[in-house]
Amino acid sequence: MLNHSESSLNSTSWTTANLVSGGLMGLFFVVGVPGNIAVIVFILHHFKKDNFTVHLMLNLAAADILCLITLPVWIYSELESIDKVTCKFFTALVYYSAYSSVITVTVLSVYRCLRIRHPQLWSRMSKRRERALLISGWALALLFSCPGVLAQEIIQSGSKMECERNLESKDSRIVALLESLLGFFLPFTIMLTSYYCLYKTATQGAFRCRHRPTKLVTRIVIVFFIFWAPHQIIKLEEICAKFVGSEPILSLVSDIAGSLTFINSCVNPFLYAFSSRSLHKPYSSGSNLE
C-alpha cells in the first residue's frame, strides 16, 4: 500500500482501485482489531503467563493491532490529501508493526521446530533470555523500519498529495530491495526450512502422533506467502522498472495488493490461537501451548 506508483493510471482505474482498497481496509479494521483484542483477553485469561509460545502470540496480536489501527488514516488518504507529519508517523507504525509481526511469526516457526526436534536444546533457555529475545525482536523491527520511514514522502498524484515511497534515487531502490530480502524472502525461507524439518520429524515413526505442530507451521507458511507475496512481487517489479527506466506494469493493482497484507493481521489471531485443539483445554487442566 505504501509503495504504489503514480504513473500510467487513468482516473477511472485509479478511482476503482482506491474504492476497492479502501473497502478492504475498512473490513480488515472492523474484523481485525476486535479479533486481536479478543485473542489477547482469551490468552491472558486461560493460559500460563510464563509460557514462551503465549508470549509470542501476545506479541503477534499486539503487533497486528498496532498495524490495523492505522487503517482509518490510509482509508482517508485514498480520498483526501494528508500532511507529511501524518504520513511519516503512520508509516512508521505500519513498518514497525509489520516487521514485528514477521519477526514474531519467524521466531514462532523456529521455536516450534526446536521444541519438536531438539527439546533439550530449548530447555536450556532461561526466562531472562526468552524475554531478551522478545525485546530484541521489537528492537530489530524498529531498526528495519527506519529506512522505509525516511524514504516515505508526500508526492503530488493527480489532484491530491499522497504518502508514497520515493524510489527516484538509486540508493533508495537498493534500500527497498534489501527491505524485501530481509522483510519477506529471508523470513519466508526460514519458515520453509522450519516446516521442512518439522515435516521430516513428523513422518518418523516416533513422532507420528505429533502432526499438529507440522500442520500449524504449514498454515503459517501458506498464509504468510499468500498475503505478502503479491505486494512484494509488485514492489520488486516497480523497483526493477525504476532501474531500467520503464513504467511499472503491475502498478494498477498495487493499492489492492498492498491492502491485502493487512489480512495477515486479521487472520493471525484465529490461525495461531484457535487452530490448535490444545488451545481449547481449560487452564485448570494445565493448559499450555508447548
Closest CA to 32 of 246, 192, 259: 259
pLDDT confidence tier of residue 6, bands split at 50, 70 and 90: very low
| Most confident range, picked from 5-9, 130-134, 196-200, 249-253 | 130-134
Per CATH, is 11-285 categorized as 3.90.1720.10?
no
Give residue 68's pLDDT: 92
DSSP category for residue 284: G
How confident is the model over 45-81, as pLDDT tens digits?
A: 877 777 787 888 889 889 999 999 999 988 888 777 7
Domain residue limits, the chain: 11-285
Average pLDDT of 215-238? Answer: 80
Structural contact between residues 107 and 56, judged by C-beta atoms closer than 8 angstroms:
yes
Kindly report the average pLDDT of the chain as a whole number.
Answer: 77
4 φ, ψ (degrees, to nearest 5): -70, 155
Spell out the alpha helix ranges (H) of 47-182: 52-68, 71-79, 84-117, 119-122, 127-151, 170-180
More confident residue, 177 or 213: 177
* 230: confidence class by pLDDT, cuts 50, 70, 90: confident
- For the four alpha carbons of 252, 1, 231 and 245, in that order, the dihedral sign comes to positive
pLDDT in tens, 179-200: 888 888 898 899 888 878 877 7
